[in-house]
Each structure stands twice: as structure tokens, then as C-alpha cells.
Amino acid sequence: MVKVLDASRVPLSEILDRTEEQRDISGAVANILADVRQNGDAALRRYTREFDKAEPDALEVPREQLDKALADLEPGLRAVLEEAAENIRAFHRRQVQHGFVISDKPGIVLGQKVAPIEKVGVYIPGGTAPLPSTVLMDCIPAKIAGCSEIIMVSPPTCNGDIAPIILAAARIAGVDRVFRCGGAQAVAALAYGTESVPQVDKIVGPGNPFVQEAKRQVFGQVGIDMIAGPSDILVIADGKSDPRQVAADLLSQAEHAGGCAVLVTDSPALAQDAAREMERQLEDLPTRETARVSLERNGKIVLVKDIPEAVRIANALAPEHLELCLDDPFAYLGEVKNAGSIFLGRSCPEAVGDYFGGTNHTLPTEGTARFSSALSVEDFVKKSQFVYYSDAALAEAAPKIAAFARQEGLEAHARSALARSR
């Protein structure tokens, strides 16, 4: 089921290869975006009937319904969500950035101010199961950043409403308004605005390929966080690791549709034992059909000569989740160049980050950790530069500015600088 590759005998390209279903949906998404842009709420309702088989009484969820969802939540589960939310707040508060001012030259002031994005839209998938963890992960950083309005959209179930636990999580996270709509049509509503759904400045959140393609197409009209693909994990483990735990961690991402699960180890024994363990654990896994397909397409066990080689392979793959199941994971942390989130040691499974630890679980996928980062408070702010020159400071600088501008053939720029120095 899971391919076993010897890094000394196969090219790196084979190790990095990932099978994905290719389907051109750009035209269908463009049509949905145009329809919602032109027809607003009527198009939203039509697509909700067609795709979600639901007819909500109203697109917006009343505030009292969020309050009730939280009040009705089973006390033990509510306590877990609230503790997770506080962990997330504690971590993300450390990401808050402040502006600066430089005034070390006479008559010159330079600086940068940091301001929150005013309105943000957060997409929360419905799918086969509600995801309250994503509500907390995507909305709390926006709240910490100081966004004036957080608008959440999520597809309704067939009864016409959003799962109560999603609404309870929205209440905990401080979401301002919630709308019953999903898919590319919800992205369109956030990007362009409708009679009910306000237009936002940036859209964040995971979703199916239609949602991601819609985000791609509306980028420029609004900002987006990233184009999120199927989830992936790479586990680096040595012979001291428990194959039962390693297999469980690999399956945690394989149970996502299209997931990619890779074990890189210097222990042939662990490779064999982990492969057997995955087969055994699949037998009673409720999501075994999805997990099995993921493993058959994108499951790999890679044998390497040592852990430094394993880290080099991890940097090439740039995984969304990277586990270092080693005695001294901190010894290798500095060598990791490309990873969305890193889980250190044998007692820190990826699920810690998904739900409870406080780090964000909205992460770069499909190798994009080479150039992008986890969702953070920084995704919800913008930075403006400012500059001040006194008369004397400009008089001294103007000839230099003019010389630079004329070298580029921009005479009006040069004259603009010189006009104030005469």
C-alpha cells in the first residue's frame, strides 16, 4: 500500500512527486462569481439550493443564535474550546507588530505605521464535519489585529442552518456577523458584496477546490491569505520511535481527502513496522476509505542514511506539517528551512497544533512553505510608510534627487524636487 523508497537509489524527484486530481474548474467558478456579482442575494440563494440542498430562512445568522449555541454547548466541550482559544490568543498576541519612527538626521522623519485591515471575511468549510478549530484559528488573529469587522461565511446543512458548534466557536472567537452560504458563491459575496453580505477587504480560510479557485480569481479585488491545497505531513523518525505512534500521526493527515503522508527514517525496522501499523490501524478507522486512497496515491516511506539527510529531504518537500520524532529535536530545528509548522519530540503529534497548542493550523500546503507562512496576526494588518523633510533638509537633498530622476529619464520628477528648493 505505502511505497518504500531508498533515497540512495531513487532520484529526489520521485520522492517529491505528488499525485493530484487535475480538473479545470476555472470557467465554472468565473461564471458563479459573475452571477453573484450581478444578482447578489438571489444568486446566493439559488446556489445554496443547488449545491447545499438547503433553503435558509435568512442568509444572516441572528446574534442571539450565536449566544444560544454557546450557552447550549456541552460544558466539557465548551471548556476545551475556551482553553484552546486562550492558548491561541496567548501565542498570537506575541505576533503583534508596532510601528517605528526614525529621526536621527536633522529635519528628516521616517517611519512606518501598522493598522488593521478594516473588514475581513473568513470562510469556514461545512463538508462532512464541522470545523470549530478553524473558526478559532482564523478569527482570533483577526480579532487581535484589531479588524473592525469579522464576517464569517459557512455553508448550511440540509436543515438550512450552520452547525451549532461552529456558531459557538464563532461566539468564542469574537466574530461580528455570520452568513449561511458556502462555496465559490460565498467568496463572491465577500469580494463584491450583496444586499445582505457586506464587501470585505480580505478573505481568509480553507475550502474545497472551488473555494480556492474563487479566492484566486477575486485576488486583486480583495486580498487573500493563500491558495490552500490538500493537507500533508512529513515525519522524521529514528529507530527509537514507536511505530504505533508514527503510523497514527501519518494517518492523521491521510484521512483528509487528497492528503499526503511521508515518513523519512534511517531505520529499516521502523519503516517496516510503521507500514504494518498503518495497515492495522486502518482496519477500524472510521475514515479508512479516504485514508487508504491518500496513502495509495501519496503515502511514502523514505529510507535515508542518517537524520541530516532526512532534514534535507524535508526542506526539499517543504511540508505543511513536519514532525521531528527524535531525542533532541531542537538540535535540528535550526537546520529546518521550509515547513509550515514544526512539531518537536516524540510527544508532540501534529494534532496538538490542529486543536490546542496555540500555534495556527492554517498553513502553507503543497510545498508553498518555501515562500509563505502560517496564518498570523500579520495577515490582518497593513503597513503604511511616512516621511517628512523640512525646508532645509529638502534643499540639501533636492539636487541629488533630481540627478537620480534624470538618470531614469523622468524630468518631471526632477523638477518636482527642485521646485521647492528655489
- For position 297, what pLDDT does the model report? 93
Q: How far is CA 358 from CA 225, 235, 342, in A?
A: 19, 21, 13
CATH number given to 3-20+230-358? 3.40.50.1980
Domain with CATH 3.40.50.1980 in the chain: 3-20+230-358, 26-80+116-224
The residue with cell 512527486 is: 17
pTM of the predicted protein model: 0.94
pLDDT tens per residue across span 66-93: 999 999 999 999 999 999 999 999 999 9
Cα 283 from Cα 286, distance rounded (Å): 9
End-to-end CA distance of the chain: 79
Contact call for residues 146 and 116 (beta carbons, < 8 A): yes
Checking if the pLDDT of 131 tops 80, the result is: yes
pLDDT tens per residue across span 149-193: 999 999 999 899 999 999 999 999 999 999 999 999 999 999 999
Rounded to the nearest angstrom, the gap between the alpha carbon of residue 381 and the centroid of all alpha carbons in its chain is 16
Contact call for residues 313 and 12 (beta carbons, < 8 A): yes
CATH of 26-80+116-224, one of 3.30.70.20, 3.40.50.450, 3.40.50.1980, 3.40.190.10: 3.40.50.1980
Cα 324 from Cα 235, distance rounded (Å): 6
Q: Which listed residue (255, 320, 323, 366) is catalytic?
A: 320
Tell me, yes or no, if 320 is annotated catalytic. yes
Q: Which listed residue (213, 255, 277, 321) is catalytic?
A: 321
Cα 32 from Cα 210, distance rounded (Å): 10
Checking if the pLDDT of 264 tops 80, the result is: yes
Rounded to the nearest angstrom, the gap between the alpha carbon of residue 280 and the centroid of all alpha carbons in its chain is 32
Cα 4 from Cα 312, distance rounded (Å): 18
Tell me, yes or no, if 321 is annotated catalytic. yes
